[in-house]
Amino acid sequence: MTKSWRDVNVIYQIYPRSFKDSDGDGVGDLRGVITKLDYIKGGQGALGADAIWISPFFPSPMADFGYDVSDYCDVHPLFGTLDDMRTLIKEAHARDIKVMIDFVPNHTSNQHPWFIESAASRDNPYRDFYVWRDPKSDGSPPNNWLSIFGGSAWEFDETTGQYYLHTFLKEQPDLDWSNPKVRWEMRKVLKFWCDMGIDGIRADAVRWIAKDPDLGDDAPNPHYHEGMNAFESLRHNKSRYGRDLFRYLRELTDVIEEYPDCVMIFEDYPDDLESTRDQYLGFYSVNPRVSMPFNFQGMWVEWNARSVAEFVNEFQGMLLPEHVPVYCFSNHDQARLVTRFGADHARLVAVLQFTLPGLPVMYYGDEIGMENGAIPADRIQDPVEIRKRALEGGGVSPEELDEQGMYIGRDPERTPMQWDATAYAGFSTREPWLPVADNYPTINVAAELSDAGSNFALYRTLLYLRTQHPVLRSGDYLQIPDPHPDIFRYRRINSGEKLDVILNFSAGDVTIGDCRGDVICSSYMSSRPEQDSDTITLRANEGVIILRSAEQ
């Protein structure tokens, strides 16, 4: 039995294609992950993360790199075998690491046997596993719903003369969750993995599983203007977030609740459909004992002390004591932290993330400060990018290029993990599926392990402190107003401990009062800020944690 989720310091997301290749085919795999468990926790110089979440490794034609599942209860041969997964779970548990896997409930692959059956004829027993509808009288799609990945959400099927719904790629047909047989099958999938011993589920794109039962048109978005992504032209008020959503999710959490200490984290990006508060509280209402939504707002918050403080205070303010916050600032769908915030500010993100309450989720490579890799046009893999280009007639608008003129999409944040300065960054023995980022000779685990001031050293220290000081995980959160506009300061407190966190968002020194106590961490790592009896002078973009005694 590993430590309880309540005591977990972080969930470390592994994108398995890109973490470690054990068999020299240029693609990461489960055996690769197993060889790096000592790096994650327990080995010499380990990062010290208590849990991992592995993105999809199931059989899949890889139209969306595994988020198009053709068998929910097996492992894609590229990644290994079910036995490898069993070994991974055993080896992780031996190191007190929890294992969370991805679960993709909204859609399957179009190569899933259910869809192959469903598409075979209108009276096939699996027909109602998916959403099929007749064309309108003029032959056009049944309604105006759009695919997140571009174009209509409907694809016409010549064989049976109907359209099927796909919120993502046409290779990812949406399951019909109003069909109890679908829900029953999906509960069986959860049981399969829980019986194998996994500890948690990250549930993908959940808001889309419940739609308006009448499949009415989505309303136009009054804020839409030219230059915005076409998907934003609608409000998606009918195509998602249907009234049965939380009931369906509750059926899933009922399954995992049967297992000791298993949790489910819902992927949900808040939008303007409902108030942000209603959206979060809706997801928490499903079953706060075992489930919670991600909070991704930090990815887009305006990066200054006032906006960040507002975002955190508002979110903390809406939660009930039983709600576990899941702050997440990066993942396989978003630009790398350093690319988004700059190297210094990425360190502030780390101090913030690991001193806020709850269960933080980090992305592989952030601990060494990996940046977005540059992807030449002929190496693009992300289907979203490829589809967007096809829809736009091959042309790519200037906003889609980065400063170096490289294509954006989601490939840049999925480049191979940078383990060392050897060929292919120690990820593989041959050219990997995506190019290794150019900076790997200096930004890599081996180099940073021996550098006391490195990004890695900061992550390791923060995770260690989060383990040592339960107040950081579950103590109360209190904002401490500071008159300086570039300072965000807050306190973590419980009956035994009091820690102050101070983040300086400015590019210059700032002296702050009422700072008695020991600085137990500075984002600078190699040196501490100047402190006298009551004040502390933070340097540019510095974040610190101060341990205060009860009377301070």
User: Which residue lies nearer to ligand GLC by CB, 114 or 524?
Assistant: 114
Q: Which residues, at least 6 apart from 139, have a Cβ–Cβ distance to it below 8 Å?
A: none
CB of 247 vs ligand GLC, minimal distance in Å: 22
Phi, psi angles (nearest 5°) of residue 473: -85, -40
Residue in 19, 168, 177, 246 binding ligand GLC, rule: CB under 6 A: 168
Q: Around 374, how many Cα atoms within 13 Å sit in the side-chain half-sphere?
A: 9
Residue in 333, 400, 402, 476 binding ligand GLC, rule: CB under 6 A: 333
Report the distance separating Cα 35 and Cα 16, nearest Å. Answer: 13
Using Cβ positions, the residue closest to ligand GLC within the complex turns out to be: 67
| Pairing label, strands 530-531, 536-538 | antiparallel
Tell which positions 238-297 bind ligand GLC, by CB under 6 A. 267
User: Which residue lies nearer to ligand GLC by CB, 199 or 204?
Assistant: 204
Q: Which residues, at least 6 apart from 230, have a Cβ–Cβ distance to it below 8 Å?
A: 146, 150
User: Which residue lies nearer to ligand GLC by CB, 332 or 484?
Assistant: 332
- At residue 379, what is the residue type? R
Tell which positions 109-138 bind ligand GLC, by CB under 6 A. none
User: Which residue lies nearer to ligand GLC by CB, 38 or 333?
Assistant: 333
User: Which residue lies nearer to ligand GLC by CB, 296 or 440?
Assistant: 296
User: Which residue lies nearer to ligand GLC by CB, 3 or 332?
Assistant: 332
CB of 107 vs ligand GLC, minimal distance in Å: 7
Site for ligand GLC contains 67 (CB under 6 A): yes
Size of the site for ligand GLC (CB under 6 A): 9
Site for ligand GLC contains 208 (CB under 6 A): no
User: Which residue lies nearer to ligand GLC by CB, 371 or 411?
Assistant: 411
What single DSSP character describes residue 484?
Answer: S
CB of 169 vs ligand GLC, minimal distance in Å: 8
Candidate list 50, 68, 204, 385, residue with the active-site label = 204
CB of 83 vs ligand GLC, minimal distance in Å: 27
Give strand pairing partners of 512. Answer: 536
CB of 61 vs ligand GLC, minimal distance in Å: 14
Candidate list 64, 171, 267, 367, residue with the active-site label = 267
User: Which residue lies nearer to ligand GLC by CB, 14 or 104?
Assistant: 104
CB of 63 vs ligand GLC, minimal distance in Å: 10
CB of 281 vs ligand GLC, minimal distance in Å: 22
Closest CA to 473 of 52, 6, 140, 124: 6
Residue whose token pair is 């959206």:
279
How many C-beta neighbours within 10 Å does residue 448 have? 23
Each residue 293-332 as x (binds ligand GLC by CB under 6 A) or -, in order, gives ---------------------------------------x
396 and 377 Cβ atoms separated by less than 8 Å: no
Residue in 64, 199, 367, 448 binding ligand GLC, rule: CB under 6 A: 64
**Would you state the structure tokens that stand for residue 40, as one six-digit string?**
């994650």
Site for ligand GLC contains 204 (CB under 6 A): yes
What single DSSP character describes residue 417?
Answer: P
**Would you state the structure tokens that stand for residue 163, as one six-digit string?**
């359209």
Site for ligand GLC contains 146 (CB under 6 A): no
Residue in 92, 104, 425, 525 binding ligand GLC, rule: CB under 6 A: 104
Report the distance separating Cα 515 and Cα 21, nearest Å. Answer: 47
Site for ligand GLC contains 153 (CB under 6 A): no
Residue 213's Cβ-count burial label (10 Å; 0-12, 13-18, 19+) is exposed
Polymer length of the chain: 552
CB of 271 vs ligand GLC, minimal distance in Å: 13
Residue 257's Cβ-count burial label (10 Å; 0-12, 13-18, 19+) is middle
CB of 313 vs ligand GLC, minimal distance in Å: 28
What single DSSP character describes residue 270?
Answer: -
Residue in 205, 249, 308, 515 binding ligand GLC, rule: CB under 6 A: 205
Question: Is the Cα dihedral 357, 465, 296, 57 positive or negative?
Answer: negative
CB of 76 vs ligand GLC, minimal distance in Å: 15
Question: Is the Cα dihedral 53, 59, 63, 68 positive or negative?
Answer: negative
CA distances from 246 to 128, 209, 283, 290 (A): 21, 10, 7, 14
Report the distance separating Cα 101 and Cα 195, nearest Å. Answer: 13
H-helix or E-strand containing 245? helix 245-257
Helix, strand counts (H, E) of the chain = 14, 18
Report the distance separating Cα 90 and Cα 197, nearest Å. Answer: 8
CB of 204 vs ligand GLC, minimal distance in Å: 5
Report the distance separating Cα 333 and Cα 340, nearest Å. Answer: 13
User: Which residue lies nearer to ligand GLC by CB, 66 or 543?
Assistant: 66
267 in catalytic set = yes
User: Which residue lies nearer to ligand GLC by CB, 67 or 164?
Assistant: 67
Q: Around 79, how many Cα atoms within 13 Å sit in the side-chain half-sphere?
A: 27
Closest CA to 85 of 46, 28, 33: 33
User: Which residue lies nearer to ligand GLC by CB, 268 or 500?
Assistant: 268
The binding site for ligand GLC (CB under 6 A) comprises 64, 67, 104, 168, 204-205, 267, 332-333
Catalytic residue list: 204, 267
